[in-house]
Amino acid sequence: MANQVRELIEKLRVKPGDKVKLKASDADGDGLFKDEADTKAETLKIAAQVNELQDRLYAERQRSLLVVLQGMDTSGKDGTIRSVFNTTGPIGIAVTAFGRPSERELAHDYLWRVHAACPRRGTIGIFNRSHYEDVLVPRAHKLLPKSTIDERYGQINAFEKMLTENGTVVLKFMLHISADKQAERLQERLDEREKNWKFNPADLEDRALWEDFEEAYETLLEKCSTEEAPWYVIPADHKWVRNAAVGHIVKATLEDMDPKYPKPDWKPSDFKVV
Ligand code: ADP
């Protein structure tokens, strides 16, 4: 892996126990990448390489990759998926968007629906929102006792450790936008006809709780960034910076996994296609 990519990864990774101050942390990503046009071209190449690596992962069928995307509304979870996985074969990939839990889901523990959506061996699973909503929403909206939420951080770490010990590599990205950028993007959803469908009045309720969500994010980043399942805080005010950063980290992770095409236990020369 190129040194620059290693540096990028180290810069964005939350070390276990690190206290992140999101307000002080850069949502702009100035200086991470040089030229916008070059970076966009590089991201296209990365997407093609992610596709090649995914092909090997699929052929190997031993391990899987789970990519968790979290972030405030308009942080660009959908856009990131579209950019980084735009050429990845659909067979090897499964995107799950987690909305408010249904009655059936609420009848189970909060990890039930999440575990069921984890990627099969050989595939990449992408979570657009995740089990982290189960510590974010109740904390920011004060829906559960603090002690119940506090227990969940440990439960989540144990769950993710179990996944990694069973062949799933876990990557978690917090797409970090500023409150000003969110205001701009929400306003676009009101102003532009083609974006109206994306507007949900409930987003304004969450926006009004910006500081509470920020605090809830800081807590989960501190408590749930582990050696085996790290969190990355991705500057997301600029889409091209966000896409490039996530793309580099996904690609580097797959390269480290180094999936191999399986060797057949027969010789191709023993067969003749007639
Ligand atoms: P999006 O806003 O990501 O486009 P939706 O509007 O369908 O998607 O649903 C997202 C909403 O569901 C968000 O407000 C989110 O906080 C909420 N949500 C997701 N998971 C949970 C959960 N486990 N508990 C409570 N609310 C949740």
Provide the H-helix boundaries in the chain.
Answer: 3-12, 36-60, 77-84, 103-106, 112-116, 133-140, 146-165, 179-191, 201-208, 210-224, 239-257
**Cβ of residue 133 lying under 6 Å from some atom of ligand 1:** yes
Question: Ligand 1 mean position to 128 CA, how many Å?
Answer: 9
Question: In angstroms, rounded to a whole number, what is the distance separating the alpha carbons of residues 105 and 96?
Answer: 15
With 90 as the cut, is the pLDDT of residue 3 above it? no
pLDDT tens-digit series, residues 48-103:
999 999 999 999 999 999 999 999 999 999 999 999 999 999 999 999 999 999 99
pTM for this prediction: 0.97
- Take atom 10 of ligand 1 and give the residue whose Cα is closest: 99
Q: How confident is the model at residue 196 (pLDDT cuts 50, 70, 90)?
A: very high
- Take atom 21 of ligand 1 and give the residue whose Cα is closest: 100
Mean pLDDT of all residues belonging to the chain: 96
Asked whether the beta carbons of 119 and 167 are under 8 A apart, the reply is: no
pLDDT tens-digit series, residues 16-29:
999 999 998 889 99
| pLDDT computed for residue 2 by the predictor | 81
Please compute the mean of the pLDDT values over residues 3-14 and round it to a whole number: 94
- Take atom 13 of ligand 1 and give the residue whose Cα is closest: 99
Classify each residue of 228-251 as buried b or exposed e, where b means 16 or more C-beta atoms within 10 Å of its C-beta.
ebbbbbbbbbbebbbbbbbbbbbb
**Cβ of residue 101 lying under 6 Å from some atom of ligand 1:** yes
Question: In angstroms, rounded to a whole number, what is the distance separating the alpha carbons of residues 4 and 156?
Answer: 31
**Cβ of residue 73 lying under 6 Å from some atom of ligand 1:** yes
| pLDDT computed for residue 25 by the predictor | 87
In the chain the domains, ranked by start, together with CATH numbers, are: 2-259 (3.40.50.300)
